Chain A
Amino acid sequence: MAGPGSSPVCRCRGEVTGNEHVCSGLIRLSLALPREPGFVPGQFAMLNLPGPDAWTFGRPLSILDWQDGVVSFLYRVVGRGTAQLAALKPGDQVTFLGPLGTPFPTEFEGCKVVLVAGGVGLPPLFAWRHRFPGSTVAAYFGARNGEDVPWSLLGPDWQIGVEEFSDGSPEHVRRGLVTDLLEVDFPSSEASPDNVILACGPWPMLKAVHSLARERRWTCWLSLEEHMGCGYGACKGCVVPVNDGDGRWRPATCCQEGPVFDAERLAWSELE
């Protein structure tokens, strides 16, 4: 039976090789793993503490990068679990279950691809950018201010939008929401229906990206964030309303049918 991604799910222990801030709000966690089944951008892993300290449920983190036996993630401290993650030191052990979830599509024949990331939503787009460098037309990252931008990860080929702009910012940094930048760079009067937009970030950003894509008749895929239980489709604890075209919505697991969804399939009226 084929999984949503292309790789078998591996459960193993990883050893922390790095756990450092890449900007004020984001921490990059790197784990050395004994196995490397591969992943597709948009997939995630459930991380947990080993032994009796384990949380009831793992924490789902999107995969930023996975090569040479080291997988890495970005996270923000938002609660008990991520605070404990932030305290991990090199050499500490973490349990890993992954790769999980339905990833972004990887082929858009004849289309140009626009990547849009907001804050901690960067990993799946960063991974996509690196996996398919030739097909991307533009990559955007949005943050509140320059301190929230992971400069070490984002080269000048990323367009960066910050709400609080400071003088002396690099040339590829502009003031405004990331969707404001998109409005300027892709005026709706010059819409090219062949474009595809892939996005991950805070909910208001995803809503704005979706309406921008609709105006331009672009295909739009969104990676959603949701509190999860099992992370692999077993518990039905993380559902998102989707339309299957029969006029009714049904709950779809964010962890298995998602986290990446075709924006047109989401039941937006139920999400409000």
Chain B
Amino acid sequence: MSLNPQWWSVDPLEPFRLGSRLIPGRVWTASGCFAYGLTGHDMTAPGFDSPFIGLGAVVTKTVTPGPRQGNPMPRLVETPCGALNSIGLENVGLEAFLRDVMPALETRGVPFIASIAATCPEQFGEMAQALQQTGGGLRHWHGVELNLSCPNVAEGGHDFGKNPDTIAACVAAARGPLSDRALLAKLTPNVGDIAALARSAAEAGADAVSAVNTFVGLDVDLATGRPILPRRFGGYSGPAILPLALAKVDEIVQKAGVPVVGVGGIATAEDALKFFALGAVAVQVGTAQMRDPFAAAGIARRLHHPG
């Protein structure tokens, strides 16, 4: 199949405007799937492939106001076409993110968008304020993605991410301090009317919505007859959800007309192109990035040099 169809005239390696911010490219890594864009491994040695060349942005692993230990093991279940995860928002906390992660990404020149989660609108506002204070002078920090839909934590997250009014309150609280950075709201697909959530986020000041987060799933250990994951449910991702995510993105574009960053099941350049065909302004690569740290950058470069 051609990667250069007639309807496709965009170069995903060209910077594009999202709100008032110029983002370096249209293929990103999804939050939670590429840590903080830095792992302890050297993946940028001269003469070796780079996971960053061509990458529009790393959406960093969600941070919460304080550090979190995350859920007990096991945290992952592999399925034939995807994976269930229940990591539980393990993260270093906002303070360490501001102190260690942001300067390191800036120094290395990795474009990034900070994913944050909180339990109420006020907290989202405080976190955005702290990010703006620390990151205001950074060239490579491009924005904030509100994680309004992580299904793996008991408080906050998933449930209030289903309510258009709470979404609006969270977006508005974070918008205030973020004058010149992009603001995205990441939406859960586990609702009846995702377009209503997108509309609500956009009206409150989000520059785009990221759609979608994982679908609720469960797997059973036949040896014990019980769910494999200690919290029973996990977030289902991977190639299996690609058509489901495409449908949600289409619903948002058609009904709400809100800019969408498409995410869900992308493993190849062809998969990414399908989101662009529906009108997505950018895409994120998640589970495939876990399998291959070079996945998103490779997809971006294939779309840049079709064929």
Residues of A within 8 A of B (CB): 1-5, 7-11, 37, 46, 48, 54-58, 95, 97, 100, 102, 226-227, 229-230, 232-239, 250-251, 256-257
Residues of B within 8 A of A3 (CB): 40-42
Q: Which of A57, A102, A232, A237 contacts B75 (CB 8 A)?
A: A237
Flag if A11 contacts B293 (CB, 8 Å): yes
CB distance from A103 to the nearest CB of B (A): 12
Per-residue interface assignment for chain B, residues 213 to 250, with 1 indicating a CB less than 8 Å from any chain A CB and 0 otherwise: 00000000000000000000000001100000000000
CB distance from B242 to the nearest CB of A (A): 13
Range of interface residues on B (Cβ < 8 Å): 35 or more
Q: Which of B41, B43, B78, B90 contacts A57 (CB 8 A)?
A: B78
Flag if B90 contacts A56 (CB, 8 Å): no
Asked if B9 lies at the interface with its beta carbon under 8 angstroms from chain A, I say: no
**Distance in angstroms between the alpha carbons of A185 and B85 in the assembled complex:** 46
Flag if B81 contacts A97 (CB, 8 Å): no
Flag if B41 contacts A256 (CB, 8 Å): yes
CB distance from B267 to the nearest CB of A (A): 8
Residues of B within 8 A of A37 (CB): 45, 48
Flag if B289 contacts A56 (CB, 8 Å): no
Contact of A234 with B290 at beta-carbon distance under 8 Å, contacts A56-B238, A251-B69 already known: yes
Asked if B292 lies at the interface with its beta carbon under 8 angstroms from chain A, I say: yes
Asked if B179 lies at the interface with its beta carbon under 8 angstroms from chain A, I say: no
Residues of B within 8 A of A57 (CB): 76, 78, 83, 290-291
Contact of A236 with B238 at beta-carbon distance under 8 Å, contacts A56-B79, A56-B81, A56-B291 already known: no
**Distance in angstroms between the alpha carbons of A10 and B45 in the assembled complex:** 9
Q: Which of A95, A100, A239 contacts B41 (CB 8 A)?
A: A100
* 10 A-B pairs with the lowest CB-CB distances in the bound complex, closest first: A8-B45, A233-B39, A230-B290, A237-B76, A3-B42, A3-B41, A234-B35, A8-B42, A229-B76, A4-B40
Flag if A56 contacts B83 (CB, 8 Å): yes
Residues of B within 8 A of A8 (CB): 42-45, 48
CB distance from A260 to the nearest CB of B (A): 13
Residues of A within 8 A of B73 (CB): 226, 238-239
Residues of B within 8 A of A233 (CB): 35, 39-41
Closest to B32 in A: A235
Asked if B33 lies at the interface with its beta carbon under 8 angstroms from chain A, I say: yes
Closest to B82 in A: A56
Residues of A within 8 A of B294 (CB): 11
Given contacts A57-B76, A238-B73, A256-B41, 18 further A-B contacts (CB under 8 A): A4-B40, A9-B41, A11-B292, A37-B45, A55-B78, A56-B83, A56-B291, A57-B83, A97-B293, A230-B293, A232-B41, A232-B43, A233-B40, A234-B33, A234-B34, A235-B35, A235-B76, A237-B87
